[in-house]
Amino acid sequence: MNTIRNKPAMSIHRICATLLTLALFPALTAPARADSYYSSIGLGLPKYLVSTKASGMGGAGIGVMDRITLNSLNPATLNVQGMTTLGVNCEYEISDNQSNVGSAVTRYGNAMGVQFVVPVQKKVTLFLMLRPLTNSRYTLAYTSTDTTLEYTRTIKGDGGINAGVIGLQYNLKDRLFIAALANFNFGAFNEQWEYAFVDDAYRDATDEFNSHLWGFGYDLSLFYKLNSTFSIGGLYRSASRLNMATSIDLSSTTATESDSDRIKIDYPAAFGAGIAVNLKKWLFAADYYQQQWQEYAHDGKRVEGLESFQRFSLGAEYTDSRSRLEGYRRRISWRLGGYYSRLPFTNADGENVHETFLSFGCGLPFSVTAGQVDIAFEVGRRGDVSRFMYEDTIFRLSGSLTGGERWFQRRY
């Protein structure tokens, strides 16, 4: 009887992988540009990623432990149960951008990180990750009002910060898990200034500014299971001193800054906490996360107009059955949630830009319990034209494919 139930698993494996590919095909073929004015400030928009499962639950997942979910924000929740596990994440976003002077619809598709987890000993797990920290893509235009020399200046920016991660998780007690990791933070920002002159006597020009950043930091996190129903999680992410070197390519000449002219940038620290309630068929989760962007500085000088980034997430998941012997439809997980974020950017009156999102998603298991496809859809709004001059309405599709197998087994 078990054999009959397990046979469809491999075909479902292929079906799920095909569905994920079709769902994210636009993300792999779309131009890598989803403009937002707010991403032109500082190092760009903070990129918040726990997992695609959490994205379907409004981003809540700091206090959630799941066998097949690889948590990028709190690795203390990893529970691979002796299986070497690989996870990949993708994202596709459509943004309707409104301002006082016009509107535009932009699209963006890209990978959103990868995780590789290897059990080293019974209580020790090694994990390697690549995850995004900030994202910056924008197009700004300015038309000169000087009648003696009329021109339009268009500024296009593209870049962001990522983190390469290596760390260990340790099961200190049966209910307490801790994790520590080292981050290599790196990134690049490219900005083009294009000048288009009305008078044909002047030649159009383009200036390019290319910056590269790198630095180190660390994370500490924990997960504690109070009982079979309640669990909590917490994390601390250290500040990071980033080195930035910029090369300037002007239309008339080229100049590159020397090593002595490198700028030091203080990337701010962050912390977060979450709680989860596990019932027979339901999972409820709530998170709070804060990053101290008011501490962001260039060569020790803080940047004015930035406040802390704060995020509140709330979500739920329903799974009819988690038994591998049940029918496939009963093992599908359905998710719903939402979040509110206070972004670090402010207007002239000192008011913070905010964004509000609703989300839903599903988890499609395959290969019995060794893998899963997660899909999440989010819709929300960032900013307000009446108060901040810019407003983004965003539709976001996320997907992840996670699979594991036993590489190391003790022989008797």
**Which residue segment(s) compose the domain that 399 sits in?**
2-405
Is residue 127 one of the residues assigned to a domain? yes
Q: Please give the structure tokens belonging to residue 410.
A: 């003790």
Is residue 410 one of the residues assigned to a domain? no
Q: Residue 53: which CATH number?
A: 2.40.160.60
Mean pLDDT of 372-391: 90
Q: How many domains does the chain have?
A: 1
Sign of the torsion angle spanned by Cα atoms 297, 48, 277, 368 = negative
What torsion, rounded to 10 degrees, do the Cα atoms 252, 258, 263, 267 define? 100
Sign of the torsion angle spanned by Cα atoms 342, 376, 399, 167 = positive
pLDDT over 80 (residue 148): no
Is residue 318 one of the residues assigned to a domain? yes
Is residue 287 one of the residues assigned to a domain? yes
Q: Is-contact 51 75, C-beta < 8 A?
A: no
Q: pLDDT tens digits for 19-29? A: 445 444 444 44
Judged by average pLDDT, the poorest of 11-15, 84-88, 175-179 is 11-15
Q: pLDDT tens digits for 315-361? A: 999 999 877 777 788 889 999 999 999 999 888 778 889 999 999 99
Residues 42, 264, 271: CA angle, nearest 5 degrees? 60
Mean pLDDT of the chain: 85
pLDDT (0 to 100) of residue 9: 39
DSSP, residue by residue, 191-228:
EEEEEEESSTTS--EEEEEEEEEEEEEEEEEEEEE-SS
Q: Please give the structure tokens belonging to residue 28.
A: 């792999």
pLDDT over 50 (residue 10): no
Q: Is-contact 50 68, C-beta < 8 A?
A: no
Please report, as a single letter, which amino acid is at residue 350.
G
Q: How many CA atoms lie within 13 A of 203 on its CB side?
A: 4
Is residue 412 one of the residues assigned to a domain? no
pLDDT (0 to 100) of residue 15: 45
Rounded-to-integer distance, Cα 168 and Cα 337, Å: 30
Q: pLDDT tens digits for 177-196? A: 999 999 999 999 999 888 88
- Tell me which long-range contacts 330-335 makes (C-beta under 8 A, separation of at least 24): 331/365, 332/362, 332/363, 332/364, 332/365, 333/53, 333/362, 333/363, 334/360, 334/361, 334/362, 335/53, 335/56, 335/57, 335/359, 335/360, 335/361, 335/362, 335/363, 335/376
Which of these, 322, 377, 330, lies nearest to 68 by C-alpha position? Answer: 322
Is residue 352 one of the residues assigned to a domain? yes
Q: Is-contact 50 59, C-beta < 8 A?
A: yes
pLDDT over 50 (residue 65): yes
CA distances 349 to 292, 358, 401, Å, are 20, 28, 44
Is residue 64 one of the residues assigned to a domain? yes
Q: Sorting pLDDT into bands at 50, 70 and 90, what band is 132?
A: very high
Q: pLDDT tens digits for 218-256? A: 999 999 999 989 999 999 999 999 999 988 888 755 555
Is residue 251 one of the residues assigned to a domain? yes
